[in-house]
């Protein structure tokens, strides 16, 4: 910085307070306590060489940088953070560029924590190999997160004792907004909800590009009594909008109970997307996702619902495609297994409005109970106008009703689901 050398990284950052500065690392560095970053505009780079900033004392739940109001902090090429996180407070901004990496943060995960009023812009680089025992293996966002490039891959949110964990890649909390314009959220894992992305009840996710792929919900050997897994790619409890150029593909829910002593059933829902909020599909594709359920106990049952999308909220489909997804259920013994809605499963209290797009080429499989390769409508209970179509066309076998009771009269599907 300014041609001057500093003994410690903290000394260099303190000297840059109130200025615009580039700090170039000259060696690997061990950091033993969090470094506060005050109002400034700092770029941290390794130049053409990759240097690693490590958690020197191997402290659990460690923070490298604490960004205060007015600070703009950029991690550029040649910088790897190993074993800790960056905290972005209200009024602060973090930028991640090509060639930068945040990895190896264990136990509490959340390698980037964006507080309400904070901003994180990911233009490149990677957030990978981080682990949480609760939520947010990779990024916890309660502020503003804009992703233009880079990757959030191979992160995990899972608790060995309870089998729980949500948001393997990203967790969007109640005041969080996430705009994804590019990049990838791939190969992340969670225990019960949102292998790639978890959006909480008032969180917002807008997907304008990029991919959410090959993420999973997986029991990882958990032998507890309840197996209820949701959203291999995305669990949405808030507002999720999907646009042209975006892809949710190759995600899976693997709801398998490994113990014969459990008397509960196995439930798997929404291989691509589990929606319990508001999901609007303006374009893009949900393809080749899967949900699989199995149980080792002969007195229990397994249920696989919605290979592409499980809708328990409000789903508006204006364009795009839902295709080549699968729901399959098996059983190690002879009890019942159920697989419904290879493309879409509509729960009894959900609402769907379809004005465009295609739902086709999806499949279901079960040893003894399977139905509705494309769309399954659960008409039990008391649904309130759950289905509204403006472009019904061919193939009335594409949609299967759960019952033929009076409540089904409220449905106005009028044949198939493809343009």
* Residue in 232, 162, 245 with CA at minimum distance from that of residue 197: 232
pLDDT of residue 161: 74
Bridge partners (DSSP) of residue 217 are 190, 253
CA distances from 383 to 192, 274, 276, 373, 379 (A): 26, 19, 15, 22, 7
Residue 107 per-residue DSSP state: S
Residue keyed to tokens 């495609």? 321
pLDDT of residue 335: 62
Bridge partners (DSSP) of residue 114 are 88, 141
Burial of 229-253, coded b for 16+ CB within 10 Å and e otherwise, reads bbbbbbbbbbbbbbbeebbbbbbbb
Tell me the two tokens of residue 112: 């980037």
The answer to whether residues 8 and 39 touch, using CB atoms and an 8 Å cutoff, is no
Indicate whether 84 pLDDT > 50: yes
Indicate whether 416 pLDDT > 60: no
Question: What is the overall mean pLDDT for the chain?
Answer: 86
* Residue in 260, 251, 320, 309 with CA at minimum distance from that of residue 284: 320
Percent of the chain surpassing pLDDT 90: 67
Tell me the two tokens of residue 132: 């949480």
Mean pLDDT computed over 249-253: 97
Identify the weakest region by mean pLDDT among 27-31, 114-118, 193-197, 296-300: 296-300
Mean pLDDT computed over 311-319: 94
Identify the weakest region by mean pLDDT among 11-25, 151-165, 259-273: 259-273
Could you give the CA distance from residue 400 to residue 418 in angstroms, rounded to a whole number?
Answer: 14
Q: In which band, very low, low, confident or very high, does the pLDDT at 412 lie, cut at 50, 70 and 90? A: very low
pLDDT in tens, 269-309: 999 999 999 999 999 999 999 999 886 555 667 889 999 99
Q: Delimit the domains of the chain by residue range.
A: 9-410
Q: In which band, very low, low, confident or very high, does the pLDDT at 382 lie, cut at 50, 70 and 90? A: very low
pLDDT of residue 159: 84
Percent of the chain surpassing pLDDT 70: 83
The pTM (predicted TM-score) of the whole model is 0.91
The answer to whether residues 295 and 257 touch, using CB atoms and an 8 Å cutoff, is yes
Identify the weakest region by mean pLDDT among 94-98, 102-106, 225-229: 225-229
Indicate whether 342 pLDDT > 80: yes
pLDDT of residue 183: 98
Q: What angle is formed at CA 185 by the lines to CA 182 and CA 187, rounded to 5 degrees?
A: 150
Indicate whether 404 pLDDT > 50: no
Look at 230 and 398; give whichever has higher pLDDT. Answer: 230
The answer to whether residues 329 and 293 touch, using CB atoms and an 8 Å cutoff, is yes
Residue 311 per-residue DSSP state: E
The length of the chain, given as a count of residues: 419
């Amino acid at each position: 910085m300014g041609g001057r050398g500093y003994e410690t990284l903290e000394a260099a950052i303190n000297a840059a307070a109130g200025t615009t500065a580039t700090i170039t690392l000259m060696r690997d560095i061990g950091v033993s306590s969090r470094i506060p970053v005050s109002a400034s505009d700092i770029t941290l780079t390794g130049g053409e060489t990759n240097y690693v900033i490590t958690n020197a004392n191997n402290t659990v739940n460690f923070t490298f940088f604490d960004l205060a109001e007015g600070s703009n902090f950029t991690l550029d090429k040649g910088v790897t953070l190993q074993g800790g996180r960056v905290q972005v407070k209200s009024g602060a901004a973090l930028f991640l560029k090509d060639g930068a990496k945040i990895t190896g943060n264990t136990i509490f995960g959340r390698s980037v924590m964006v507080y309400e009023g904070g901003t994180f812009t990911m233009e490149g680089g990677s957030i990978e190999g981080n682990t949480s025992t609760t939520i947010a293996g990779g990024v916890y966002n309660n502020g503003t997160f804009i992703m233009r490039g880079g990757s959030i891959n191979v992160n995990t949110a899972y608790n060995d004792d309870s089998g729980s964990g949500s948001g393997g890649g990203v967790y969007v909390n109640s005041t969080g907004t996430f705009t994804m314009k590019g990049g990838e959220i791939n190969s992340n894992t969670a225990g019960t909800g949102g292998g790639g992305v978890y959006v909480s009840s008032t969180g917002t996710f807008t997907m304008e590009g990029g991919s959410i792929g090959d993420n999973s919900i997986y029991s990882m050997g958990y032998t507890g009594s309840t197996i209820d897994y949701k959203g291999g790619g995305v669990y949405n409890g808030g507002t999720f909008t999907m646009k042209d150029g975006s892809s949710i593909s190759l995600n899976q829910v693997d709801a398998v109970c490994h113990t014969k002593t459990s008397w509960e059933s196995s439930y798997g829902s929404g291989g691509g997307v589990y929606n319990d909020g508001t999901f609007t599909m303006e374009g893009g594709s949900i393809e080749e996702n899967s949900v699989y359920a199995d149980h080792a106990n002969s007195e229990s049952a397994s249920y696989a619902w919605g290979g592409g999308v499980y809708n328990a909220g409000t789903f508006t489909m204006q364009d795009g495609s839902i295709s080549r997804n699968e729901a399959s259920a098996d059983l190690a013994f002879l009890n019942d297994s159920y697989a419904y809605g290879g493309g879409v499963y509509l729960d009894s209290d959900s609402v769907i409005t379809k004005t465009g797009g295609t739902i086709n080429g999806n499949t279901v499989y079960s040893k003894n109970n399977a139905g509705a390769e494309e769309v399954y409508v659960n008409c039990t209970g008391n649904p309130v106008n759950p289905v509204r179509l403006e472009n019904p066309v061919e193939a009335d076998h594409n949609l299967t009703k759960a019952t033929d009771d009076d409540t089904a009269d409220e449905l106005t599907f009028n044949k198939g689901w493809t343009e």
